[in-house]
Every structure is written in structure tokens, then in C-alpha cells.
Structure 1
Amino acid sequence: MGWSRRATGVTHYDPGRAYRGYTLFAPNDGEDAYLIDMEGDIVHRWRCPDGIGQGDLLPNCNLLLRTPRSADSGGFPGVPASGAVQELNWDGEVVWEYRDPNLRRYSRLPNGNTLLLIWEEISIDKSRHIQGGFTTPTDPERLLGDLVVEMTPDGSIVYEWHSSDHLDPEQDIICPLENRTSWGGANDITALDDGSFLISFRVLDTAALVDRSSGRFAWKWGRGQISHQHHPTPLANGHVLLLDNGAHRRGLSYSRVVEVDIGTSEIVWEYHGEPLSSFFTHFTGGAQRLPNGNTLICEGYEGRLFEVTPTGTVVWEYISPFFRQDVQGYANRVFRTQRYDPDYAGLAGRDLDPGQYPNLNRLYNGRSYRMV
């Protein structure tokens, strides 16, 4: 997807086919998370001085987020991580947090606990048996693995899972175009109601469902099918939806969203751009299945949020107007987005009048979209 800095805000909207609600996103490397309406107007903003890398609106009206890791906070060098997971109330006040420079992702459980994805070192012996990746003279003697912990609100750890205890060195081989820093490079985790969880191993091209009681993989899929994926989420029909980023894919680089039947490991639905190269996000992004059957997609690298019907028709599109200068240049990247129903518990009783933010909406929403 090529973008123009002039074409921002809502650029396309079909009210008859789009799923009406409020869309949450946080511009990369920024301090704000925005909730916008279907017309692209900001109806609420949270600000966090530590930065917001990703946010989720909880049923209690609080925002659960992760902050970027600061340069002086420690942690393992050379790998992306977060500095903390925080919960902010509607007014932006911190009501809960957990800090660890090796945090990656989070998922809030129905019981109020939080599932956390954290880097950890693998033993030297295991590290020597891990295959794949390109080697350099500075490769670490101990590779990094993925630790999953369940934490109570008071900070107690009540469950641990170590990826290195369950991945197979003979089968789970690092992509040859990735370095040998980590084995798995897990980039997403999603908790299920029964305590099991979906996890995405980016550099292994693998998504997996982990059984809570045994710790074993109840389903493991992706090698040869997807490339450097993000955001596996469960669907009501028992399938899994995920973004296949397509980075390091053999042949043409392009992204797609796929729905997989975990019983057969077959792709039963997919969305891709026409032409293929018109939808591509090398890093970041995700997808959410909406109640009307449409799918909300985050083409994160281009700051593009868009909704498609089951037949692939785009019925809503928003290009983030929030550009920032970072190490990769001047860009408007977005890690993830979520759409919330107007009746969602987390919005109950809240003032969602865009008139609260007249200056922001004047600056960042030119109302230039085309309605059909």
C-alpha cells in the first residue's frame, strides 16, 4: 500500500456495509491512544508519558497498554521489548502497572489476571542445538526464548510456561534471513477463556495453541504456509484468524489475512490486496473479526486501518495522520487496532462527543472521505 501524506483520516466509508462502532489505535512511538468514530473524529484520548505501543479497552472502561522500552531501562540488547504494562482509567491515571525491560506483549484474562510474554535466556546446551538463522561473530552464546507468566493484580505469579521446553530443535528452525538472537521471537499472545492461549512465533513462521494444564501444543501450524505472522485470535466458530505479514516470503512480498480451521489446519478464508503488492506490512499489524462478519485489518507499517467484507470489498478505510520521525524515517506506523461496539461495557456512560476535541479534529480530520 503506497500512501500520500495528504490522504489521511477516513478516506472511504460505506455506512450500509461497515460495522459501526469506535476504533482504538495508538501511533507508534507516541504518547497517545485515540478512540475515533466512523467519520474519523477523535472522541477520546489517553496520554501516557512513558509512551503507548499498544492499547486495549477493558470492560471496566480502563485502557490496558504496553509502553516502549526506554534506552536506559536495561533488558536484553538487540531485541524489541516494552518497558511496562500499565492500566489507565478513563482520565489517564495509572491504576495498575508491572515493569520489566524484557516484556513483549500482554493479554488480560477473564479472572482479572494478566498473561505476560517476556524474553528469557535459554541454556547454553539448548542454544547449541537450535538450527537456522544467519550467523555472525557477535552471536550470543545463549539465545533468547519466550516466557509466559500469569500475574495477579498484586504482582504474584501463579503460572509459568517456557517455550524452550516445548519447541523442537529439529523442526522449529529459525528463518534463514533472521539473526540468531532468539528462538521463536514470539510477538503476540492471546488468552482464551479456558486458560489456554494462542502464541505467535514470528521467526519460526508458526502459530500455536498451548494447553494450559499440560503445557503442550494442542495445535501448531504455519511453516511453509505463512511468513512472520502476527495476532492469532480465536473465532466463535473455533477457527483462528491471523495476519500473515509475508516478510521473507519466497517470491513476491505481500500480506494477507487468513482464517484457519485448527481441526484440519486448512485455510478456509483469506483476504489479500489486488494487486497482491497493494497490501503489505513488513512488521506489525493484525486483524479482528467483527460481529457482522467483516474483518478490521491493521496494515501497521503504512498506518492504514481498513475494514473488508467476507468477499474482500473495502467498506471503511482510515489512514493515520500522526507522523513521527524515527530511526526508519518519517512515518505513521500503527501496531494494532480494535473496533468496539457502541454498546460495549467499556464505553458505558462515557462522553463520546467529538466536540471535546475541536482543535485535534480540525487538524487531523479533513472529512475528505468518499461515502458510497
Structure 2
Amino acid sequence: MGWSLHHPHGLVYHAPQYCHRGYTLFANLRGFDANLIDMEGRICHRWHWPGGINYANLLPNGNLLFMSLAPDEKLPMTGIGGHTGGLVELDWDGNPVWELENPWMHHDFQRLDNGNTLALVWEEMSSDMTFRVKGGFATAEDPVQMLGDVVREFTPSGEVVHEWKSWEHLDFDADVICPLEGRREWTHGNSINVTADGDYLVSFRQTSTVGIVDRESGRFTWKWGPGEVSHQHNPSFLDNGRVLLFDNGSHRRAPNTNYSRIVEIDPANNDIAWDYRGEPAISFYSYQISGAERQPNGNTLICEGATGRFIEVTSGHQIVWEYINPLFADSGRLAGGSSSGRANSVFRAHRFSPDDPALAGRDLDPAKYGNLNRILGTG
């Protein structure tokens, strides 16, 4: 979606009788703060971290778990989207309670019920395997060892107790890199989730693939996407057994134009049970990042990431809440920024019900941030 400098920001629209009421958490891509806003778009709580906050989520105890900014040192993944410095956990008041530095981590994580943390990690593949990967465009700077995606489970002390190396279970003929993408990495994993059975739900942007991986055997039990979605993000497993995801739509195959949509796919038969797209289609578009989250009332919270726009839509495709992030950070031009690199881009957003355990007994009075809310036009 595009707009001029005169386009409204903050809360744009709110039909409370149709919304799932709650508090929405987001952080500017490559910013230093995570914000919790109410349905009126007012900041009710925020966390700050000098090492930066790329993407954050709330834990049931009210702590904030997030990926920090990437280090300045030159590494094989430097400059690739999603690069971070590792994981940090802050308590409600912003005090650090846990940190795991690892510049090979990227994009996504999940805290498990056993207290361990699942994260996406890059690892260099062998030169022989790199040579066998198909697709992408070649440059003189291409590495001899391409980066591959690994899912690792870390204990609180940082010990790795389980890992899944994607390239050991991929198909050189089927898992082909988009011809408009480079060859620094094979798959560019951008999401990791755990199903009710403990298996992994993964998303690979480079190959436009989502899949469910059996945790014990490492084999894919379901894999879908090429030709159907394009450079998707944030698949999540729904209670009805389907998978919800953000289909970014960049590099979509002709004769289709580039547009984004939300897709609810049934892994049992690969039928698309529901989707959402803009009207006209180009009015809803984020060529990278972004996400979608099903709400308890059946609505879907959507983060149109590159433009910093959040909308809540009903199953009948009606927008009942719209908010445009008024905060900017040095996210870079590729994340939707201006020529200066400043952008309001957001990797993903989450909404928490007022009775969520993470918010129990918390002070969520927006008056604490009255001056900031007034400056942002939401006070």
C-alpha cells in the first residue's frame, strides 16, 4: 500500500463491536523499542534495549523475548535480511534476565514449554552441496559455501539439545531458488513454529515453500508452496488443522501482478479454505517481512510489514481495525524505507487479550506515556 506524507498514521479506523479487543505488540525493524498499544492506538507499555530489538514476543510470564540487532563485524551473513545478534529476555520492567549471543541466529524463535528455546540458525553448507543447489542468479561475489538453515533447540545455558539441518532433507530438483534471488543462501528460513504434535512448521522464502517436519525423523510430512505462493512469511498452525500464512506475492508468476494475500491452506488436501486480499489487489502489498495471526473471535490480525500497517479483518473480509505505525527507525531502504533509510517497517505483530496471563496485574494506563502519545497524535 502506498501513501503520501499527508496520509494519516496511528489509529486509522476502529469498529469496536466487530474487533477482538486486546493489546498489540510490535517493534520497528532494526529499532530499539518494543511497544504495546491498546485498541485506540495508544502506547500502554514499552521496552527499550540498547542492543536493538528486531522482533519481539511476550512470554506467558510477561517477559519480553526478542532478537537483537546484528553485530558490526563482517560475517558470511552480513547484509542478509533477518540477521540478528542473538536472543534477549527482559522482564516487564525492562531488566535483562537472560541472553544468548549468537550472530548466526536469524528471523524467528519460540520458547518451548520445557523452558528451552527454538531458533533459526544459519550454517555454511559444503562447497559440493552448494554447487548442486539450483536456481538463483549468480554473481562474482557468491560464496563457495552457501548458507543453509538449521532449527536448533537451546537450553537456558545455551547447550544445543536438538537440531534439524534443512539441507539433509531437501530435494535439489524440487527446492529451487527463485531466479530473481541471489545464491548466498539456499532457503532463507523466516519462520519456525511447533505443531500440537511437537513437529516443526517452517517457511523458506527463497524457494517459496512451507512445510511440516517430523521432529524425530527429520522428514517432511507436508511440503507446499511453489507456484501457489511467493516468498511467504509467518505460517502458523490453526486449531482446525489448517495453516495460516502471509503470501507476500513478490516475484509472483505471470500473468499475475505483485500483490499480497493471506492464505488459509489445508495440508490434508492442499485446498485453500480462505484468503484475504486487497481491493484492488495492489492496495495490500508487502514484498517482504509481514505476518498474520488468527484471533479468538475468528478475525485475523495482519501485519503488512514493509509499510508498518496493521489491520484486523473479519472472515467476510471486512477491515474492522486499522493502525499505521507512526514510529520510524533506520530499517534501510530495502525494508520499505525512504532514501534516508528511515522506515516504519515491522517484522510481525501480535495481539494479547486483556485476560492473557502475560498481562495479569500489569499497569496498562496509557497516561504513563501521555507526552509520547500526544506527539504521535494518539494521546
For the criterion TM > 0.5, the same-fold answer is yes
Corresponding residue of 1:261: 266
SS in 1 for 2:172: coil
Distance in 1 between residues matched to 2:158 and 2:13, nearest whole Å: 44
| Alpha-carbon shift at residue 152 of structure 1 (Å) | 1.1
Q: 4+ runs of 1 displaced by more than 6 Å?
A: none
Q: Is 14-23 or 79-88 further displaced after alignment?
A: 79-88
Distance in 1 between residues matched to 2:251 and 2:265, nearest whole Å: 21
Distance in 1 between residues matched to 2:323 and 2:74, nearest whole Å: 34
1:282 equivalenced with 2:302 (yes/no): no
| Alpha-carbon shift at residue 51 of structure 1 (Å) | 0.7
1:167 equivalenced with 2:166 (yes/no): no
Corresponding residue of 2:95: 93
Counterpart AA for 1:310: S
Corresponding residue of 2:209: 206
Bigger strand share: 1
SS in 1 for 2:129: helix
1:147 to 138, 147, 150: 150
Distance in 2 between residues matched to 1:202 and 1:178, nearest whole Å: 10
Distance in 1 between residues matched to 2:167 and 2:378, nearest whole Å: 50
| Alpha-carbon shift at residue 17 of structure 1 (Å) | 0.2
Corresponding residue of 2:312: 307
Distance in 2 between residues matched to 1:121 and 1:362, nearest whole Å: 48
| Alpha-carbon shift at residue 331 of structure 1 (Å) | 2.0
| Alpha-carbon shift at residue 73 of structure 1 (Å) | 6.8
Give aligned pairs, total.
367
Distance in 1 between residues matched to 2:150 and 2:225, nearest whole Å: 21
C-alpha RMSD of matched pairs (Å): 1.3
| Alpha-carbon shift at residue 324 of structure 1 (Å) | 3.2
Instruction: Report 1 or 2 for greater relative contact order, CA contacts < 8 Å, sequence distance ≥ 6.
Output: 1
Corresponding residue of 1:3: 3
Q: When the two structures are superposed, what TM-score results if normalisation uses the length of structure 1?
A: 0.96
Is the CA contact (8 Å cut-off) linking 1:75 and 1:102 kept in structure 2?
no
Q: Is 99-108 or 174-183 further displaced after alignment?
A: 99-108
Distance in 1 between residues matched to 2:89 and 2:327, nearest whole Å: 23
Q: Is 248-257 or 237-246 further displaced after alignment?
A: 248-257
Distance in 1 between residues matched to 2:37 and 2:377, nearest whole Å: 10
Counterpart AA for 2:9: T
SS in 2 for 1:339: strand
Per-residue CA shift, 1:142-170, capped at 9, x if unaligned?
Answer: 11100111011121211011001001001
Corresponding residue of 1:183: 186
> What pairs with 1:39-188 in structure 2 (closer than 5 Å)?
39-72=40-73, 74=75, 76-80=77-81, 81-104=83-106, 105-188=108-191
SS in 2 for 1:175: coil
1:352 equivalenced with 2:364 (yes/no): yes
Corresponding residue of 1:370: none
Distance in 1 between residues matched to 2:167 and 2:330, nearest whole Å: 37
Rate the CA distance shift 1:160–1:325 in 2: closer, same or farther, 3 A.
Answer: closer
Is the CA contact (8 Å cut-off) linking 1:243 and 1:257 kept in structure 2?
yes
Corresponding residue of 1:321: 326
1:29 equivalenced with 2:30 (yes/no): yes
| Alpha-carbon shift at residue 325 of structure 1 (Å) | 4.4
Is the CA contact (8 Å cut-off) linking 2:230 and 2:249 kept in structure 1?
yes
Residue ranges of structure 1 left out of the alignment (5+ in a row): 368-372
| Alpha-carbon shift at residue 79 of structure 1 (Å) | 2.2
Rate the CA distance shift 1:303–1:157 in 2: closer, same or farther, 3 A.
Answer: same
Distance in 2 between residues matched to 1:4 and 1:108, nearest whole Å: 39
Per-residue CA shift, 1:99-131, capped at 9, x if unaligned?
Answer: 111111211112111101011011111111110
Distance in 2 between residues matched to 1:234 and 1:177, nearest whole Å: 29
Residue ranges of structure 2 left out of the alignment (5+ in a row): none
Q: Percent identity?
A: 51
Rate the CA distance shift 1:73–1:62 in 2: closer, same or farther, 3 A.
Answer: farther
